[in-house]
Homo-oligomer: A and B are copies of this chain.
Amino acid sequence: MSFRHPDRDQIRIEDVLSALGNPLRLAVVRVLDAGGEHNCSSVLGVLGVTSKSTMTHHWRVLRDSGVIWQHPSGRENLLTLRREDLDTRYPGLLKAIMAGALGDEAAQAVSAQAR
């Protein structure tokens, strides 16, 4: 089964922001941003998520918004961040979001330690 993806020029910024404006989807993109090839199971493993059915929805949102490629590979689906497309359409956006997510995490760790 092969999936539909928007072309680069069909990507819309509100869809990208909406896709990334969810903790689990943002976490997925951070895993993909770190590099390497990932299938759905390996991303779920990194995130400690076990419900495949919940993720079906999230994969679709990420795919339909143009944030990831999702392609069949054997019995699994291979996930890739559409970095080149996003960087071309929205220079600096992905970098700012990834840095922001890292900053949030550091800030939360500090506030947790202070308790």
A→B interface (CB under 8 Å): 9, 12-23, 26, 89-93, 95-97, 99-101, 103-104, 107, 111
Contact = CB atoms under 8 A, between A and B. Distances in A.
A26 B9 contact: no
A96 B100 contact: no
Contacts of A13: 26, 97, 100-101, 103-104
A94 to B, nearest CB: 9
Contacts of A95: 92
Contacts of A89: 100, 103
A16 B26 CA distance: 12
A111 to B, nearest CB: 8
